[in-house]
Amino acid sequence: MRKLKLTIVSMLVIIVFLIVYLSLFTKNTNYNTAGDDNLIFQKEHNIENNKSSPMNSLKVYKSKFANIIDVVLFITTDTESKDQLNKLWPKISVVAISGMSAVTNDQAYSHAGKSSHKHEEDKIDDSVNAIYNCVPHSHVSLPVTVHKNTNYNTAGDDNLIFQKDHNIENNKSSMNSLKDYKSKFANIIDVVRQMNVTPLLVTLVNRAYLPFAFSWLCNTEQMGIHKQVLFITTDTESKDQLNKLWPNISVVAISGMSAVTNDQAYSHAGYIRLMIRRTQILLDILQNNISIFLFEVDCLWIKNPVPSLVKNEGYDILVNPVSNRPGVVAGGFIYMFPTYATKVLWTELNAKLLTLEKNISNLSPKMGILESQNDQMYLSDLVKRRVSGLKPKYLPLDEYADGKWYSFPEKTRATLDPYVINNNWVIGNNNKILRAKSLGHWFVLSDNTCDRDQIKKIVKR
Ligand SMILES: *[C@@H]1O[C@H](CO)[C@@H](O)[C@H](O)[C@H]1NC(C)=O
Ligand SMILES: *[C@@H]1O[C@H](CO)[C@@H](O)[C@H](O)[C@H]1NC(C)=O
Ligand SMILES: *[C@@H]1O[C@H](CO)[C@@H](O)[C@H](O)[C@H]1NC(C)=O
Ligand SMILES: *[C@@H]1O[C@H](CO)[C@@H](O)[C@H](O)[C@H]1NC(C)=O
Ligand SMILES: *[C@@H]1O[C@H](CO)[C@@H](O)[C@H](O)[C@H]1NC(C)=O
């Protein structure tokens, strides 16, 4: 009997242990899943991050590397090397560049690391889709994920491992390129300059979002805004498909976000990476003094919102609140006037994301990311704090609706006359498409042509 009791007690202990153990691995599964896109994004460490003073980094925007270009000959990839050089050769100028950390331990480096639990890998999800607002980000808790990253260059047997970076212009030919350094995304800025429009309507799409892009293009075909639209794709196939079906739309593909097929998993890092990239591109555009309307293509445009947005001169930024999340603004529906305050805000946002990225790479794969740590929460906070005297306008949700609109009673909907309805607050691309279709908010047919009858029924001009 005593033995049986002991057995029962020890079983209970094991069960409790198991529950605790499992809960460790089921924590933070609240992120959204959206479809079956298979993108893995590469890390990039060498974008300057000056946390200490975004204002200052804004001022020195055109010459981020000014401190190293004078006569400095030693550029080290880590502070230890710098310290050793300084010690032995105090008169030699040495600078250490950040984000190039040398590691002797593969696992420590790739925050990818290695998963000790297959289970964990299964949970890795397409968190990158959070950018697509399936559920507003505040609702999304992203897991730190574990990825095998194959994009390493190994340089000899000194154990230095650098990750490839496809995104920074590589002009070895001259120091001049540093002096003349203006824009990280010169090719995109070239396209933008040629477009010569204001505001510039910018959206980022990946392959999984092409159906939404096509429906949106049909939706807005007659609004006369297509010449102002810049699609940024994360892969060249998406660019090619967009170009083929919509030859008049400007599309640029960004590199370093290469799609990897047969890998269902996204890394949190991938999401952060993409946010950093998007933020930097937008900053470059702002630095060129161009107004930006950032939007996402999973959005119904009932009436063209651009003319009413443009009118808000005097504000720095127009943001869209998120339903049921006081103080939170949407990360993917933003109108920006290229004012000094907006540039400061955007520079700070970028710095915060870069910090987050570094933090993540130091975390154990088992650890989740706090809900408060994502681009949308950072943006909300910066807007709330009115950085640099920022003047924000919060767009009314009844005119710029989010996905909660779909759960309103029909009566309520009938009283509203929104410009747009962001199709978020639903999990999964297919569900999102089904919901749009159920109300006739889907405008592309299976052969990718536009459903003009449906457009006529829904879209007001
Ligand atoms: C970062 O900001 C600090 C404080 O304003 C400044 O002294 C420093 O030069 C900046 N560093 C870089 C790399 O721009
Ligand atoms: C690289 O440097 C050369 C020589 O200064 C310059 O002519 C060329 O435009 C630069 N290329 C890029 C991509 O910046
Ligand atoms: C592209 O623009 C040209 C000239 O404005 C126009 O004739 C043509 O119909 C447009 N094509 C499409 C597919 O919209
Ligand atoms: C943008 O505007 C600012 C402030 O008026 C000006 O200093 C800067 O040179 C402009 N930049 C470009 C690229 O036109
Ligand atoms: C990064 O980690 C440090 C130390 O844990 C913390 O103080 C800081 O708030 C974190 N920053 C971000 C952006 O997550």
Pocket residue to mutate for ligand 5, from 111, 141, 358, 359, most atoms within 8 A of Cβ: 359
Nearest atom (ligand 3) to Cα of 248: 1
Residue 10 pLDDT more than 90? no
**DSSP category for residue 224:** T
CATH of domain 177-458: 3.90.550.10
Q: How far is the CA of 252 from the centre of ligand 2 (A)?
A: 21
Task: Return the axis-axis angle of helices 186-195 and 268-287, rounded to nearest 10°.
Answer: 50
What is the tens place of the pLDDT at every residue in 241-255? 999 999 999 999 987
Residue nearest to atom 1 of ligand 3 (CA): 248
What is the tens place of the pLDDT at every residue in 118-175? 332 222 223 333 333 333 433 333 332 323 232 322 222 222 222 233 333 333 443 3
Residue 5 pLDDT more than 70? no
Please tell me the predicted confidence (pLDDT) of residue 142: 33
**In whole angstroms, what is the distance from residue 3 CA to residue 307 CA?**
80
Residues in the chain: 461
Residue nearest to atom 7 of ligand 3 (CA): 248
* Ligand 4 and 50: CB distance under 6 A: no
Residue 404 pLDDT more than 70? yes
23 neighbors 418 (Cβ within 8 angstroms): no
Mean pLDDT over 66-93 rounds to 63
Q: What is the residue type of 436?
A: A
**In whole angstroms, what is the distance from residue 63 CA to residue 56 CA?**
12
Please tell me the predicted confidence (pLDDT) of residue 113: 29
The count of other CB atoms within 10 Å of the CB of residue 403 is 22
Sheet (strand 299-301) strand order: 299-301, 420-422, 400-401
Nearest atom (ligand 5) to Cα of 356: 13
Please tell me the predicted confidence (pLDDT) of residue 201: 98
* Ligand 3 and 247: CB distance under 6 A: yes
Give the β-pairing of 250-253 and 392-394. unpaired
Residue nearest to atom 11 of ligand 4 (CA): 288
107's tokens:
């696992």
Dihedrals phi, psi of 261, to nearest 5 degrees: -80, 165
Nearest atom (ligand 4) to Cα of 340: 4
Closest to 101 measured CA to CA, from 275, 358, 365: 358
Residue 204 pLDDT more than 70? yes
202 neighbors 230 (Cβ within 8 angstroms): yes
Tally the C-alpha atoms within 13 A of residue 148's C-alpha that lie toward its C-beta: 8
More confident residue, 152 or 76: 76
Kindly report the pTM of this predicted structure.
Answer: 0.64
Instruction: Identify the nearest ligand to the CA of 289 by its number.
Output: 4
* Ligand 4 and 289: CB distance under 6 A: yes
- Angle, vertex CA 209, rays to CA 197 and CA 449, nearest 5: 80
Please tell me the predicted confidence (pLDDT) of residue 410: 95
More confident residue, 130 or 397: 397
* Residue 394: pLDDT band with limits 50, 70, 90: very high
Closest to 227 measured CA to CA, from 207, 198, 188, 254: 198
* Residue 391: pLDDT band with limits 50, 70, 90: very high
Residue nearest to atom 9 of ligand 3 (CA): 248
Closest to 440 measured CA to CA, from 431, 451, 429, 448: 451
Please tell me the predicted confidence (pLDDT) of residue 3: 61
Please tell me the predicted confidence (pLDDT) of residue 167: 35
Write the CB contacts of 210 (distance below 8 Å, at least 6 apart in sequence): 238, 241, 242
Please tell me the predicted confidence (pLDDT) of residue 154: 28
Residue nearest to atom 13 of ligand 5 (CA): 356
* Ligand 3 and 248: CB distance under 6 A: yes
401 neighbors 299 (Cβ within 8 angstroms): no
**In whole angstroms, what is the distance from residue 113 CA to residue 396 CA?**
44
96's tokens:
């250490």
Mean pLDDT over 173-178 rounds to 38
307's tokens:
């003319």
Residue nearest to atom 3 of ligand 3 (CA): 248
Q: What is the mean pLDDT of the chain?
A: 72
* Residue 360: pLDDT band with limits 50, 70, 90: confident
158 neighbors 251 (Cβ within 8 angstroms): no
Residue nearest to atom 3 of ligand 5 (CA): 359
Number of helices and strands in the chain (H, E): 17, 14
Mean pLDDT over 373-396 rounds to 95
Q: How far is the CA of 373 from the centre of ligand 5 (A)?
A: 9
- Angle, vertex CA 396, rays to CA 292 and CA 460, nearest 5: 75
**In whole angstroms, what is the distance from residue 167 CA to residue 145 CA?**
23
Please tell me the predicted confidence (pLDDT) of residue 252: 96
Q: How far is the CA of 329 from the centre of ligand 2 (A)?
A: 40
* Ligand 2 and 174: CB distance under 6 A: yes
Collapsing DSSP to helix, strand or coil, 438 comes out as: helix
* Residue 427: pLDDT band with limits 50, 70, 90: confident
Nearest atom (ligand 4) to Cα of 289: 1
Write down the domain spans for the chain.
177-458
**In whole angstroms, what is the distance from residue 233 CA to residue 252 CA?**
6
Closest to 232 measured CA to CA, from 205, 271, 194, 258: 205
78 neighbors 94 (Cβ within 8 angstroms): no
Please tell me the predicted confidence (pLDDT) of residue 323: 95
152 neighbors 107 (Cβ within 8 angstroms): no
Closest to 235 measured CA to CA, from 260, 266, 258, 209: 258
What is the tens place of the pLDDT at every residue in 25-68? 433 322 332 322 222 232 222 233 334 444 444 544 544 444 44
Residue 406 pLDDT more than 80? yes
Please tell me the predicted confidence (pLDDT) of residue 12: 52
**In whole angstroms, what is the distance from residue 271 CA to residue 283 CA?**
18
> Quick one: what percent of the chain has pLDDT higher than 70?
58
Q: How far is the CA of 60 from the centre of ligand 5 (A)?
A: 25
